[in-house]
Structure 1
Amino acid sequence: MTTITTLTTLDRIHPTVYEYEKVIIEQREDVSSRTPTQQAQTHTQVRVQPQPPSLTQRALLVHAPQQPYTLVTNHAIPSILHQDEILIKTLAIGLNPVDWKGPAYNFGLPSLPWVNGRDLAGIIVNISPSAAPQRLRKGDLVLVPSTDYRDIRKAAFQEYAVATHYNAARIPSPAHTYAAASVGVAFVASVLALGVSLGVDFRGINQCPGPDLRGVLGQIDKYMIPRDVRDECFASGDVVERPQAADWIAVWGASTTTGLLTIQLARLAGLKTIAVADIARHGAKLHAAGADILIDRHDTQRAVEIIRGVTGGKLRYAIDIVGQETATLLQSTLDTTISENGLHAHLLGLTGLPAAKDRDERIVYHTVPIKVFHSCPEVGEAMVVWLEGLIESGTLELPEIVRAEGGLEGVNEALGMLKRGDASGKRIVVSLD
């Protein structure tokens, strides 16, 4: 695994914006006498003393489609506008394919110029004064999956970003900062795919129990959930449709970060997993993640035959992370008969589903309702609290990273590496520290 340089100081917030000193919260009892939960809640903080702020910061802007990002030094520092919001000083940015595909193909750009970036880690430097007491405090290290891409304040490609407290997960130690910056959006996609779209209940995991997101959604007024993801949140809500322990699930594109996390979480929940990927390059990693069956992706028809053979033609759950073509192949591995108790086959596509003419009416098709993570506080909070526990306990294996230096100036070059596939199977993280 790529070596991650441990942060030895947290005192690098821009001096014109904040001035602070590192402090350790005074302990009034021996930590060894605390329960594991109480120990996990111990904070190492930075005491922040606001000073007259600079109004601008450095940021990367998209000025036009098919153009590289432009570094500017006079971009406005985002303001906290709501009581659930926090301001973060960015220390590391995790790069995602959408960061180069959006400008290249002109999507995900609500207006121009725009700031992109979906994964970041940093230090909380301000919290809304009207906020109720929360689990997060000034000085905490946090990771943030920025799924609300229409709010430019929340983008990662800037020195300061806003987030809601229920979308930020505490990082247990500075040594985790760079790996944590790489995991957020992939974790959100994986958990929503398994826990909401397919209905996996994570409460029974022994090592680090998670939420029952279907149950969480059941306590929310459905009309508070955005209309465009509402049906997905409540599709196939019958208990019979939910995966049970020892059921098979196939993941095509398992070597991606989302795929690797999906394999891990599915295994933790008791499912048997089939990983389709480039096995020569990524088989060892997938085996370590707990995949039960490894299938090479290069001979697609053979891969389909193996999946059918391994599952005895009874596969009911499948997730594709690659695109329409592989989703269509994965569809052909499913058992399309509807069981006596009403169980259907389920196919989820993160980046595409079979064309309408190729679909089977007996299969339930799913997309990932990403929007519920940032639009429903109960869902977001349940997910990030679980992520904190998974990282703190070491239950979740974080992605292998390639750390790119050069700060914001180095992002274009790092995105070129990502586009060329130079870091296949790894995550590129840009250091702003």
Structure 2
Amino acid sequence: MSTTSTTTTSNSPPTKRQHHEHDGVVEKPRKRRQTIREEPTVDSFQVTHQEVLLLHGVKQPYIHTPKYEIPQIKNDSEMLVKVTVIGLNPIDWKASDFGWGLPTLPCISGRDLAGTVVKTPKRESRFKVGDKVIAVSTDYRDSRKSAYQEYAIASEHNVCRLPPSISTIDAAPIGVAYVAAALMLGVCIGLDFSNVHGPDLFTITRKLDPESVPKDIREEVFNSNITPALRPKRGDWLAIWGGSSATGCIALQLAKLAGLRVVCILDVARNGARMLKLGADLLIDRLDTERAVEIVRSVTGGELTWGIDTRGKESAGLLARAMSSGEAPSDDKSEGDSGKSRPLGHLVALTGRPSSPTPGIQYHTLPIKLFHEAAPVGEALM
């Protein structure tokens, strides 16, 4: 990206040496030339081609491809970012090995990136050219937004400006894990972050026009069986099976920030010390699964309502057992009902749910599309 420079002059404060007199004449301060570099503008970006990594087929290597066209901005909310750091995600290797998230071939992959804004949105924007940012690409069907290229398109509501204290290297891996954790907690189980200067995603999503939300996630967004009165409260227990994953680590910290108590089921020998530093209230070793289930039940008094599983169907089933009383919650709303029946348990199964239902447990699926499809949600998180 080219830049132009101009010169200007300014009067420097006189020094003691300049004040001395020569034959009755005071030496005047010299004018100092100062170079000012102008801000790059949208029109100053003239690059037309780039280098990318292309995936041509399942179980094939990524191919370095030069002279690939720069992606083009299509609407007034999009910007162009020069990619300087790429964050890696499991989907990056699962895409090539198993064909996950491959709408067309060849394709460009990569979900997390950090870099510099080189073109701002056409509409009025809080971003300017030269800003250091992270961009989170949950829209895998749009290769313009993928990370494995020199320049990527990003929607304004999916971009966050970085403060000077955080480097692009430190920030790049955070994106998708953070978005997933925030949506699981805020949308799926209804945790409110407004008391810690964060968003109330539960309320934000309920105000969306259902027609603006993709059909395959509407049930999760609008019919979660969580009423305002039943939302998580400060001091409630949350169990995370697989808490040492990137998403689990961030979910732990966000939950603690909002006032929950968190029990993590994981390989304690390998990851326990790190999780304690991040704020876990209790660690349970996952290597003895039956004992882990018993400990979770004992610690939470058999009334664990909130759970997240990041590992798979088997561990999701184990966590569901730890949360379940073995009986479905009462649906009796008559006057004689004491209102003290066991509430429905809510478990977010990030990577798969058991094939058989568990009495008293409702499984939730991460509505990741909300982040890029619903601008109010993306803006609240960024």
SS of 1:179 mapped into structure 2: helix
Q: How far off is 1:219 after superposition?
A: 2.4
Q: How far off is 1:51 after superposition?
A: 4.2
Specify which of 198, 201, 212 is matched with residue 189 of structure 2. Answer: 198
| Cα distance change on mapping 1:359 and 1:52 into 2, 3 Å | closer
Q: How far off is 1:361 after superposition?
A: 4.8
Q: Between 112-121 and 296-305, report the one with greater CA deviation.
A: 296-305
- Which position in structure 2 is the counterpart of 1:72? 65
| Cα distance change on mapping 1:21 and 1:182 into 2, 3 Å | farther
SS of 1:161 mapped into structure 2: strand
Specify which of 56, 68, 74 is matched with residue 63 of structure 1. Answer: 56
TM-score (structure 2 length as normaliser): 0.85
Per-residue displacement from partner, 1:251-301 (whole Å, max 9, x unpaired)? 011001100000000111111100111111211111111100011111111
Specify which of 144, 147, 153 is matched with residue 153 of structure 1. Answer: 144
Distance (whole Å) between structure 1 residues aligned to residue 262 and residue 350 of structure 2: 18
Does 1:113 find its partner at 2:106?
Answer: yes
Does 1:349 find its partner at 2:361?
Answer: no
Q: How far off is 1:221 after superposition?
A: 1.4
- Which position in structure 2 is the counterpart of 1:268? 257
Distance (whole Å) between structure 2 residues aligned to residue 243 and residue 237 of structure 1: 9
Distance (whole Å) between structure 2 residues aligned to residue 51 and residue 267 of structure 1: 46
Whose RCO is larger (CA < 8 A, sep 6+)? 1
| Cα distance change on mapping 1:218 and 1:92 into 2, 3 Å | same
Contact 2:312–2:349, Cα closer than 8 Å, also in 1: yes
Identical columns (%): 44
Does 1:323 find its partner at 2:315?
Answer: no
Specify which of 157, 174, 185 is matched with residue 166 of structure 1. Answer: 157
Which residue identity is paired with 2:147? A
Q: Give the 5 Å matches for 1:68-147.
A: 68-129=61-122, 131=123, 133-147=124-138
SS of 1:139 mapped into structure 2: coil
Q: How far off is 1:243 after superposition?
A: 1.0
Distance (whole Å) between structure 1 residues aligned to residue 120 and residue 160 of structure 2: 15
Q: What are the ranges of 5 or more consecutive residues in structure 1 without an aligned counterpart?
A: 1-17, 23-44, 385-433
Does 1:216 find its partner at 2:209?
Answer: no
Distance (whole Å) between structure 2 residues aligned to residue 141 and residue 166 of structure 1: 15
RMSD: 1.9
- Which position in structure 2 is the counterpart of 1:296? 285
Per-residue displacement from partner, 1:28-57 (whole Å, max 9, x unpaired)? xxxxxxxxxxxxxxxxx9821444723210
Per-residue displacement from partner, 1:154-181 (whole Å, max 9, x unpaired)? 0000000000011001110264211110
Contact 1:123–1:139, Cα closer than 8 Å, also in 2: yes
Per-residue displacement from partner, 1:144-202 (whole Å, max 9, x unpaired)? 11100000100000000000011001110264211110100000000000000000001
SS of 2:82 mapped into structure 1: strand
Distance (whole Å) between structure 2 residues aligned to residue 165 and residue 59 of structure 1: 23
Contact 1:86–1:164, Cα closer than 8 Å, also in 2: yes
Contact 1:240–1:341, Cα closer than 8 Å, also in 2: no
- Which position in structure 1 is the counterpart of 2:2? 19
Distance (whole Å) between structure 1 residues aligned to residue 131 and residue 3 of structure 2: 13
Does 1:181 find its partner at 2:172?
Answer: yes
| Structure whose alpha-carbon radius of gyration is higher | 2
Contact 2:120–2:127, Cα closer than 8 Å, also in 1: no
| Cα distance change on mapping 1:293 and 1:47 into 2, 3 Å | same
Distance (whole Å) between structure 1 residues aligned to residue 159 and residue 169 of structure 2: 15
Q: What are the ranges of 5 or more consecutive residues in structure 2 without an aligned counterpart?
A: 6-36, 331-338
Which residue identity is paired with 2:54? L
Distance (whole Å) between structure 2 residues aligned to residue 56 and residue 341 of structure 1: 65
- Which position in structure 2 is the counterpart of 1:389? none
SS of 2:235 mapped into structure 1: coil
- Which position in structure 2 is the counterpart of 1:240? 229
Which residue identity is paired with 2:353? L
- Which position in structure 1 is the counterpart of 2:23? none
Per-residue displacement from partner, 1:52-111 (whole Å, max 9, x unpaired)? 723210000001100111100021110011000000000100001110011100121111
Distance (whole Å) between structure 2 residues aligned to residue 98 and residue 230 of structure 1: 24
Distance (whole Å) between structure 2 residues aligned to residue 306 and residue 87 of structure 1: 50
SS of 2:280 mapped into structure 1: coil
Contact 2:3–2:40, Cα closer than 8 Å, also in 1: yes
Contact 1:277–1:297, Cα closer than 8 Å, also in 2: yes
- Which position in structure 1 is the counterpart of 2:30? none
Does 1:226 find its partner at 2:209?
Answer: no
Contact 2:243–2:249, Cα closer than 8 Å, also in 1: yes
Contact 1:279–1:294, Cα closer than 8 Å, also in 2: yes
Aligned length: 339
- Which position in structure 2 is the counterpart of 1:255? 244
Distance (whole Å) between structure 2 residues aligned to residue 192 and residue 102 of structure 1: 23
Does 1:48 find its partner at 2:40?
Answer: yes
SS of 2:322 mapped into structure 1: coil
Contact 2:45–2:119, Cα closer than 8 Å, also in 1: no
Distance (whole Å) between structure 2 residues aligned to residue 171 and residue 134 of structure 1: 16
- Which position in structure 1 is the counterpart of 2:16? none
- Which position in structure 2 is the counterpart of 1:380? 378
SS of 1:47 mapped into structure 2: coil
SS of 2:176 mapped into structure 1: helix
Per-residue displacement from partner, 1:300-352 (whole Å, max 9, x unpaired)? 11111111111111111110000001001111001345263673101111101
Does 1:335 find its partner at 2:324?
Answer: yes
